[in-house]
């Protein structure tokens, strides 16, 4: 039997559009000889639907859309669709996260998700009731081990212990399926491809069954999905692989599809593809903006953000703005001009000196007798933010925030200034990885799209005379070693000190900065998630708290 994996890009809440997309792909799969077409998890609603699932009208409309798909798919063909279905047991949550098998206008069978993740960006226990058992589906002489996303991750270890004491695939394997089919909405993070590879290969070898994985693709607000759908033979090797970061339709013929496929995945190209897709889908799926707006400082972050936006949307849909102040270097303007010319985007120059001068005059009496410092510096950043937001308001452009993860982590950013915007493109990209992206963009283009001076000059906010980031922060390669371990790998002070060999006081100071600037990050625009732990919906820390790891260490130290 030929089986199709339909890696599609649904939009959250667009029930009609998603249903049409499912039907079109099912028809294409039929034309290509497939008897069964498999679609991703919750593809009918888009993932994650969040509190839309608490609206009765949305739930009712979802079931109507599912019936419509059942009637519209090609006759004689089976289609597996991910959708919420009502829980009619009378107890528990009102819905199940389901994989529904449709054929000839009817629901032939359905399986419910057993493991409902509640870590990082996932909050499925909020909405769904877990399945109480797993059952193999018998269909056209095949025994299908159909299951949903997290159900295959039960064996993965987290924090040196297993996250679940249940094994859905073990339960299915005991029922002697002919193959496993997993439908997923598994988000991208750097390195996730290899992790999926290892997990699926292990499952195949353990249970000696082929494994088909159909994952969604596209971006919905912060979350980016890379697709990465594939078929593995029973011995574990992948024999059929979908394109990543794009819609694709795989049709697997068990008789002729026995070939090994391997796609090399590197973090920097993957981040580039994920960020580009994230920008494009944010703009296209919201449908609110014709163009993107980027404040250009001549620095690396704004240059990379602008280059990504131009690739995602087309140069004609990106506007750059350079806003020199009295502290701006010559390169701030000339490097921005060179970047805009290289990309072919529109560039505006609006000096902020009059605005800063006006604020200085307005605040002169209130600030009298005090020394100039951060407050005066930030007036410049806020004047730029106000200027950009005025342009966004006037022309309906989406303002892209340019701050990177390193700066966001330690609070090296200005509320209502450089943090202004509708989408934070680099907020999950450490500074050293921003430089890697810049080099990759130039390598791919075969020319210096991002000016070499932008890459080589010392980073600076240019809010004071002779200012450099290094005046306030350790070198970024040092800072990022600390931040990567603390935020993404969830390691603590002593372990970071051991692994890096850095001074304890330095590491402790950085960790305190991260903890104490949560209030800033909570007011930042949504950021594209490209790591295992991004700021935003996947990292939830209290703003009001008095956690001090060093104080606790002193209090609990042995006496004497």
Beta-strand runs (E) in 379-517: 398-401, 423-424
Question: What is the strand order of the sheet 346-349 is part of?
Answer: 346-349, 318-322, 292-296, 398-401, 423-424
The DSSP code for 143 is E
How many C-beta neighbours within 10 Å does residue 287 have?
8
Asked whether the beta carbons of 515 and 541 are under 8 A apart, the reply is yes
- C-alpha to C-alpha distance for 380 and 327, rounded to whole angstroms: 10
Active site positions, annotated:
41, 113, 149
Pairing of strands 211-215, 230-232: antiparallel
- C-alpha to C-alpha distance for 333 and 359, rounded to whole angstroms: 23
Asked whether the beta carbons of 193 and 228 are under 8 A apart, the reply is yes
Report phi then psi at 107, rounded to 5.
Answer: -85, 110
The DSSP code for 256 is T
Residue ranges of alpha helices (H) inside 219-299 are 267-286
3-state secondary structure of 249: strand
Name residue 227's beta-bridge partners. 244
The residue assigned the tokens 């996260």 is 97
3-state secondary structure of 530: coil
């Amino acid at each position: 039997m030929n089986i199709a994996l339909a890696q599609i890009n649904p939009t959250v809440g667009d029930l009609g559009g998603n249903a049409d997309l499912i039907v079109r792909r099912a028809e294409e799969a039929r034309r290509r000889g497939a008897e069964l077409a498999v679609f991703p998890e919750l593809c009918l609603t888009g993932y994650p639907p969040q509190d839309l699932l608490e609206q009765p009208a949305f739930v009712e409309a979802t079931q109507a859309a599912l019936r419509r798909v059942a009637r519209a798919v090609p006759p004689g063909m089976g289609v597996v669709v991910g959708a919420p279905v009502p829980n009619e047991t009378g107890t528990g949550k009102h819905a199940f996260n389901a994989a529904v098998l449709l054929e000839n206008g009817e629901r032939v069978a359905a399986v419910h998700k057993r493991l409902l993740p509640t870590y990082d960006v996932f909050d499925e226990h909020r909405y769904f009731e877990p399945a109480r058992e797993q059952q193999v589906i018998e269909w056209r002489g095949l025994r299908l081990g159909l299951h949903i996303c997290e159900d295959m991750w039960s064996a993965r270890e987290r924090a040196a212990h297993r996250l679940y004491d249940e094994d859905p695939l073990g339960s299915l394997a005991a029922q002697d399926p002919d193959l496993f089919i997993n439908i997923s909405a598994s988000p991208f993070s750097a390195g996730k491809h290899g992790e999926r590879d290892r997990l699926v290969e292990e499952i195949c070898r353990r249970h000696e069954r082929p494994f088909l994985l159909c994952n969604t693709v596209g971006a919905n607000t912060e979350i980016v999905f890379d697709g990465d759908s594939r078929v593995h033979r029973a011995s574990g090797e992948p024999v059929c692989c979908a394109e990543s970061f794009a819609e694709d339709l795989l049709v697997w013929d068990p008789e002729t599809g026995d070939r090994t496929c391997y796609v090399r995945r590197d973090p920097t190209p993957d981040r580039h593809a994920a960020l580009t897709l994230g920008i494009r889908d944010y703009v296209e799926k919201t449908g609110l903006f014709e163009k993107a707006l980027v404040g250009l400082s001549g620095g690396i972050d704004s240059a990379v953000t602008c280059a990504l936006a131009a690739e995602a949307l087309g140069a004609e849909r990106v506007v750059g703005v350079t806003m020199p102040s009295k502290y701006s270097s010559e390169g701030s303007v000339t490097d921005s001009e060179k970047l805009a010319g290289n990309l072919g985007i529109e560039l505006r120059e609006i000096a902020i000196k009059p605005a800063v001068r006006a604020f200085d005059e307005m605040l002169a009496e209130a600030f009298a007798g005090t020394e100039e410092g951060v407050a005066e510096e930030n007036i410049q950043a806020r004047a730029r933010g106000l200027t950009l937001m005025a342009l966004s308001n006037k022309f309906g452009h989406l303002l892209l925030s340019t701050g990177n993860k390193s700066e966001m982590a330690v609070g090296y950013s200005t509320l209502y200034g450089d943090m202004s915007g509708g989408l934070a493109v680099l907020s999950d990209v450490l500074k050293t990885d921003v430089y890697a992206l810049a080099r990759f963009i130039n390598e791919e283009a075969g020319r210096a799209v991002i000016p070499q001076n932008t890459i080589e000059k010392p980073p600076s906010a240019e809010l004071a005379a002779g200012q450099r980031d290094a005046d306030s922060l350790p070198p970024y390669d040092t800072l990022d070693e600390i931040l990567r371990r603390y935020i993404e790998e969830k390691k603590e002070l002593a372990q970071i000190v051991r692994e890096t060999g850095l001074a304890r006081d330095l590491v402790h100071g950085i960790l305190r900065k991260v903890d104490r600037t949560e209030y800033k990050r909570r007011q930042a625009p949504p950021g594209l998630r490209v790591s295992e732990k991004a700021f935003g919906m996947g990292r939830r820390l209290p703003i009001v708290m008095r956690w001090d790891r060093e104080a606790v260490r002193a209090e609990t130290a042995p006496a004497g």
